[in-house]
Amino acid sequence: MRVALVTGAARGIGAATVNHLARDGWAVLALDACAGPDAAPYALPDVADLEAVAAPHAEVEAVVADVRDRPALDAAVARALDRWGRLDAVVACAGIVGGGRPLWETDEAELDLLWDVDAKGVWHTAAATVPALLAGPDPSGARFVAVASAAGTHGLFRMAAYNAAKHAVVGIVRGLAADLVGTGVTAVAVSPGSTDTAMLRATAALYDATTDDLAAHQLLRRALRPEEVAATLVFCCSREAAVLNGSVVSADGGFQA
Protein backbone atom coordinates (compact mmCIF):
# COMPACT_ATOMS: atom_id res chain seq x y z
CA MET A 1 0.00 0.00 0.00
CA ARG A 2 1.33 3.39 -1.00
CA VAL A 3 1.06 6.20 1.54
CA ALA A 4 0.40 9.90 0.98
CA LEU A 5 0.31 12.98 3.18
CA VAL A 6 -2.10 15.74 2.15
CA THR A 7 -2.23 19.20 3.72
CA GLY A 8 -5.29 21.46 3.50
CA ALA A 9 -7.32 18.26 3.58
CA ALA A 10 -10.51 19.39 5.34
CA ARG A 11 -12.32 20.78 2.31
CA GLY A 12 -12.09 21.82 -1.32
CA ILE A 13 -9.31 20.48 -3.50
CA GLY A 14 -7.51 18.94 -0.52
CA ALA A 15 -10.55 16.94 0.58
CA ALA A 16 -11.22 15.81 -3.00
CA THR A 17 -7.60 14.67 -3.28
CA VAL A 18 -7.83 12.62 -0.09
CA ASN A 19 -11.01 10.96 -1.35
CA HIS A 20 -9.52 10.18 -4.76
CA LEU A 21 -6.33 8.72 -3.29
CA ALA A 22 -8.29 6.60 -0.83
CA ARG A 23 -10.53 5.24 -3.59
CA ASP A 24 -7.40 4.30 -5.51
CA GLY A 25 -6.14 2.24 -2.57
CA TRP A 26 -3.73 4.71 -0.96
CA ALA A 27 -3.38 5.21 2.76
CA VAL A 28 -3.54 8.92 3.55
CA LEU A 29 -2.56 11.12 6.46
CA ALA A 30 -4.96 14.05 6.06
CA LEU A 31 -3.74 17.29 7.65
CA ASP A 32 -5.47 20.59 8.20
CA ALA A 33 -5.06 23.50 10.62
CA CYS A 34 -8.82 23.41 11.29
CA ALA A 35 -8.87 27.09 12.21
CA GLY A 36 -12.67 27.11 12.18
CA PRO A 37 -15.47 29.46 11.19
CA ASP A 38 -14.08 32.40 13.17
CA ALA A 39 -10.72 32.38 11.38
CA ALA A 40 -9.43 35.43 9.54
CA PRO A 41 -9.64 36.61 6.84
CA TYR A 42 -12.60 34.26 6.21
CA ALA A 43 -14.19 31.16 7.70
CA LEU A 44 -12.08 28.02 7.52
CA PRO A 45 -12.93 24.36 8.20
CA ASP A 46 -12.89 22.90 11.69
CA VAL A 47 -11.99 19.53 13.20
CA ALA A 48 -15.41 18.08 12.38
CA ASP A 49 -14.88 18.89 8.70
CA LEU A 50 -11.52 17.11 8.67
CA GLU A 51 -12.87 14.09 10.51
CA ALA A 52 -15.75 13.88 8.04
CA VAL A 53 -13.25 13.60 5.18
CA ALA A 54 -11.39 10.77 6.92
CA ALA A 55 -14.39 8.88 8.31
CA PRO A 56 -15.45 6.92 5.19
CA HIS A 57 -11.96 5.47 4.68
CA ALA A 58 -10.31 2.92 6.98
CA GLU A 59 -6.82 3.91 5.83
CA VAL A 60 -7.24 7.67 6.13
CA GLU A 61 -6.19 9.31 9.38
CA ALA A 62 -7.04 12.91 10.28
CA VAL A 63 -4.37 15.01 11.97
CA VAL A 64 -4.74 18.64 13.04
CA ALA A 65 -1.55 20.42 11.99
CA ASP A 66 -0.78 23.92 10.76
CA VAL A 67 1.72 24.16 7.89
CA ARG A 68 3.24 27.17 9.65
CA ASP A 69 4.24 24.85 12.50
CA ARG A 70 7.28 22.82 11.45
CA PRO A 71 7.33 20.64 14.62
CA ALA A 72 3.68 19.70 13.99
CA LEU A 73 4.59 18.63 10.47
CA ASP A 74 7.54 16.62 11.76
CA ALA A 75 5.19 14.89 14.19
CA ALA A 76 2.74 14.14 11.39
CA VAL A 77 5.44 12.51 9.31
CA ALA A 78 6.47 10.45 12.32
CA ARG A 79 2.85 9.37 12.73
CA ALA A 80 2.63 8.24 9.09
CA LEU A 81 5.84 6.24 9.42
CA ASP A 82 4.71 4.73 12.70
CA ARG A 83 1.38 3.60 11.26
CA TRP A 84 2.33 2.58 7.74
CA GLY A 85 6.12 2.42 7.70
CA ARG A 86 6.61 4.55 4.59
CA LEU A 87 5.72 7.77 2.79
CA ASP A 88 5.41 7.77 -1.00
CA ALA A 89 3.72 11.04 -1.93
CA VAL A 90 3.00 14.46 -0.49
CA VAL A 91 0.37 16.91 -1.73
CA ALA A 92 0.92 20.39 -0.28
CA CYS A 93 -2.56 21.80 -0.76
CA ALA A 94 -2.97 24.11 2.25
CA GLY A 95 -3.53 27.71 1.30
CA ILE A 96 -5.61 30.84 1.77
CA VAL A 97 -6.42 33.78 -0.43
CA GLY A 98 -6.39 37.52 0.18
CA GLY A 99 -6.44 40.74 -1.75
CA GLY A 100 -8.88 43.36 -2.96
CA ARG A 101 -6.52 46.35 -2.85
CA PRO A 102 -3.54 47.48 -4.92
CA LEU A 103 -0.08 46.56 -3.66
CA TRP A 104 0.61 49.97 -2.14
CA GLU A 105 -2.58 49.79 -0.07
CA THR A 106 -2.17 46.15 1.01
CA ASP A 107 -1.67 45.71 4.74
CA GLU A 108 1.64 44.12 5.66
CA ALA A 109 -0.16 41.71 7.98
CA GLU A 110 -2.03 40.30 4.97
CA LEU A 111 1.24 39.84 3.09
CA ASP A 112 2.77 38.08 6.09
CA LEU A 113 -0.20 35.72 6.45
CA LEU A 114 -0.26 34.74 2.78
CA TRP A 115 3.50 34.33 2.72
CA ASP A 116 3.54 32.21 5.87
CA VAL A 117 0.71 29.88 4.83
CA ASP A 118 0.93 29.69 1.04
CA ALA A 119 4.69 29.91 0.48
CA LYS A 120 6.49 29.01 3.69
CA GLY A 121 3.83 26.39 4.36
CA VAL A 122 4.97 24.55 1.21
CA TRP A 123 8.60 25.03 2.24
CA HIS A 124 7.95 23.58 5.71
CA THR A 125 5.96 20.71 4.26
CA ALA A 126 8.78 19.82 1.90
CA ALA A 127 11.43 20.14 4.58
CA ALA A 128 9.49 17.81 6.88
CA THR A 129 8.48 15.21 4.31
CA VAL A 130 11.19 14.91 1.68
CA PRO A 131 13.63 13.04 3.97
CA ALA A 132 10.93 10.38 4.47
CA LEU A 133 10.37 10.17 0.71
CA LEU A 134 14.09 9.71 0.17
CA ALA A 135 14.37 7.08 2.90
CA GLY A 136 11.37 5.05 1.72
CA PRO A 137 11.42 1.68 -0.01
CA ASP A 138 10.69 3.16 -3.44
CA PRO A 139 12.20 6.64 -3.84
CA SER A 140 12.07 6.38 -7.63
CA GLY A 141 8.27 6.39 -7.29
CA ALA A 142 8.08 9.07 -4.60
CA ARG A 143 6.46 12.39 -5.47
CA PHE A 144 6.20 15.86 -3.93
CA VAL A 145 3.29 17.85 -5.39
CA ALA A 146 2.54 21.45 -4.45
CA VAL A 147 -0.63 23.33 -5.32
CA ALA A 148 0.31 26.67 -6.85
CA SER A 149 -2.29 28.69 -8.79
CA ALA A 150 -2.92 30.47 -12.03
CA ALA A 151 -1.70 33.39 -9.88
CA GLY A 152 1.71 31.70 -9.87
CA THR A 153 2.03 32.52 -13.58
CA HIS A 154 -0.25 35.49 -14.18
CA GLY A 155 -0.50 38.82 -12.42
CA LEU A 156 -4.00 39.10 -11.01
CA PHE A 157 -5.71 42.42 -10.36
CA ARG A 158 -5.41 43.63 -6.75
CA MET A 159 -3.88 40.36 -5.55
CA ALA A 160 -0.19 41.25 -5.46
CA ALA A 161 0.50 39.47 -2.16
CA TYR A 162 -1.25 36.29 -3.31
CA ASN A 163 0.61 36.52 -6.63
CA ALA A 164 3.90 36.80 -4.78
CA ALA A 165 3.18 33.80 -2.57
CA LYS A 166 2.05 31.57 -5.42
CA HIS A 167 4.99 32.57 -7.63
CA ALA A 168 7.14 31.54 -4.66
CA VAL A 169 5.49 28.11 -4.62
CA VAL A 170 6.62 27.62 -8.21
CA GLY A 171 10.15 28.69 -7.28
CA ILE A 172 10.24 26.37 -4.29
CA VAL A 173 9.19 23.41 -6.42
CA ARG A 174 11.72 24.15 -9.14
CA GLY A 175 14.50 24.52 -6.59
CA LEU A 176 13.43 21.32 -4.85
CA ALA A 177 13.39 19.41 -8.14
CA ALA A 178 16.95 20.55 -8.78
CA ASP A 179 18.02 19.47 -5.30
CA LEU A 180 16.48 16.02 -5.89
CA VAL A 181 18.48 15.26 -9.02
CA GLY A 182 19.65 11.65 -9.03
CA THR A 183 17.45 10.55 -6.12
CA GLY A 184 14.42 9.35 -8.06
CA VAL A 185 12.11 11.56 -5.99
CA THR A 186 10.43 14.24 -8.09
CA ALA A 187 8.69 17.55 -7.45
CA VAL A 188 5.97 19.27 -9.45
CA ALA A 189 3.61 22.23 -9.04
CA VAL A 190 -0.01 22.13 -10.15
CA SER A 191 -1.71 25.45 -10.88
CA PRO A 192 -5.52 25.34 -10.70
CA GLY A 193 -7.76 28.02 -12.08
CA SER A 194 -11.04 29.13 -10.54
CA THR A 195 -12.36 26.07 -8.73
CA ASP A 196 -15.74 25.72 -7.04
CA THR A 197 -14.54 25.99 -3.44
CA ALA A 198 -14.97 28.22 -0.42
CA MET A 199 -11.73 29.92 -1.42
CA LEU A 200 -13.22 30.91 -4.79
CA ARG A 201 -16.25 32.38 -3.03
CA ALA A 202 -13.91 34.33 -0.73
CA THR A 203 -12.03 35.57 -3.80
CA ALA A 204 -15.23 36.70 -5.48
CA ALA A 205 -16.17 38.61 -2.34
CA LEU A 206 -12.91 40.58 -2.55
CA TYR A 207 -14.09 41.97 -5.89
CA ASP A 208 -17.79 42.21 -5.05
CA ALA A 209 -18.22 39.76 -7.93
CA THR A 210 -19.67 36.31 -8.46
CA THR A 211 -17.84 33.03 -8.95
CA ASP A 212 -19.26 32.96 -12.48
CA ASP A 213 -17.53 36.29 -13.13
CA LEU A 214 -14.20 34.74 -12.15
CA ALA A 215 -14.80 31.51 -14.07
CA ALA A 216 -15.48 33.57 -17.21
CA HIS A 217 -11.70 34.07 -17.46
CA GLN A 218 -11.33 30.36 -18.28
CA LEU A 219 -11.84 28.94 -21.75
CA LEU A 220 -14.13 26.32 -20.23
CA ARG A 221 -16.38 29.20 -19.16
CA ARG A 222 -17.21 27.48 -15.89
CA ALA A 223 -15.61 26.89 -12.54
CA LEU A 224 -13.60 23.72 -12.22
CA ARG A 225 -14.81 21.03 -9.85
CA PRO A 226 -12.48 20.13 -6.97
CA GLU A 227 -12.58 16.52 -8.15
CA GLU A 228 -11.21 17.54 -11.55
CA VAL A 229 -8.21 19.25 -10.02
CA ALA A 230 -7.77 16.37 -7.57
CA ALA A 231 -7.55 13.94 -10.48
CA THR A 232 -4.59 15.90 -11.82
CA LEU A 233 -2.93 15.96 -8.40
CA VAL A 234 -3.40 12.21 -7.98
CA PHE A 235 -1.85 11.55 -11.37
CA CYS A 236 1.10 13.68 -10.30
CA CYS A 237 1.53 11.30 -7.35
CA SER A 238 1.88 8.31 -9.67
CA ARG A 239 5.03 6.60 -10.88
CA GLU A 240 4.08 7.63 -14.43
CA ALA A 241 4.32 11.31 -13.45
CA ALA A 242 8.11 11.22 -13.23
CA VAL A 243 8.23 12.99 -16.60
CA LEU A 244 6.66 16.08 -14.99
CA ASN A 245 9.60 16.63 -12.64
CA GLY A 246 10.27 20.34 -12.13
CA SER A 247 7.22 21.33 -14.17
CA VAL A 248 4.23 23.56 -13.55
CA VAL A 249 1.10 21.72 -14.62
CA SER A 250 -1.68 24.12 -15.59
CA ALA A 251 -4.98 22.60 -14.45
CA ASP A 252 -6.83 25.85 -15.05
CA GLY A 253 -9.43 25.23 -17.74
CA GLY A 254 -7.59 27.58 -20.08
CA PHE A 255 -7.24 30.51 -17.68
CA GLN A 256 -6.67 33.92 -19.27
CA ALA A 257 -6.00 36.89 -17.00
Active site residues: 162
Q: What does the DSSP 8-state code read for residue 98?
A: -
Cβ neighbours for 204, distance < 8 A, ≥ 6 positions apart: 210, 211, 213, 214
Cβ neighbours for 91, distance < 8 A, ≥ 6 positions apart: 4, 5, 6, 7, 14, 17, 145, 146, 147, 233, 237
Question: What is the rounded distance in angstroms from the CA atom of residue 147 to the CA atom of residue 250?
Answer: 10
Spatial strand order of the sheet with 89-92 comes to: 60-64, 27-32, 3-6, 89-92, 143-147, 186-192, 248-251
SS3 content of the chain, % helix, strand, coil (to 5): 50, 15, 35
Residues 18 and 43 sit within 8 Å (Cβ to Cβ): no
Preceding omega of 41 cis (within 30 degrees of 0): yes
